[in-house]
Amino acid sequence: MPLSEYRYQRRVQFADTDLAGVVHFSWIVKYMEEAEHALWRGAGLTISPADGVVSYPRVALSVDFKAPLHFEEEFEVHVRIASMSRRAITYAHTIRRGETVIATGTMTAACVRKVPPPMKSTEIPPEVLDRLQPYREP
C-alpha cells in the first residue's frame, strides 16, 4: 500500500440497500465521508474538534459508478489527498470489492471558522496540514 493511501474496510448493511438489494447511490458518498474521517483518525486528528471553532464543510463532490454493491458484501474505500491548499483539501476515493472497482470519486472540503458567526473561510491549521501530509498523492 502506498504511504499516500488510507484503506477503510466496511461491510454493506441491509439499511444501505434499496428495494433491488443494491447499495443506494447516496451511501457511496457516505462511505467516502466515513473513509475521510478514518483517514483523519489514522493521522491522529479529528475532523470535528471539541472546541467547534473550525469546521470542514464539503464544497464539491463527484462520483462515477462502475459496479453494484449488495447486502453483506465486504469492500474497501481507498482514500488519498489529491490536493491540499492553505484553505481546502480534495480527496480522491476508489471503492473496491476485491479487484472490482465499484466507484471512484472526489470530495473537496473547505476549512471555515464558525465562531464568531457567520462561517468564513480560513486557513487550515499548520498541525493539521503536517499530520495529513503523508496521505498526499506523490
Per-residue DSSP letter, 59: E
| DSSP alpha helix (H) spans, the chain | 25-42, 126-132
- Rounded to whole angstroms, the Cα distance separating 93 from 132 reads 16
Distance, C-alpha 32 to centroid of its chain: 4
Express each pLDDT in 28-69 by its tens digit: 999 999 999 999 999 999 998 888 889 999 999 999 999 999
Domains and CATH numbers, the chain: 6-135 (3.10.129.10)
66-85 per-position pLDDT tens digit: 999 999 999 999 999 999 99
Considering only CA atoms, which of 85, 78, 101, 102 is closest in space to residue 4?
78
β-pairing, 112-113 vs 74-84, is unpaired
In 3D space, the residue among 54, 63, 69, 61 whose CA is nearest the CA of residue 112 turns out to be 54
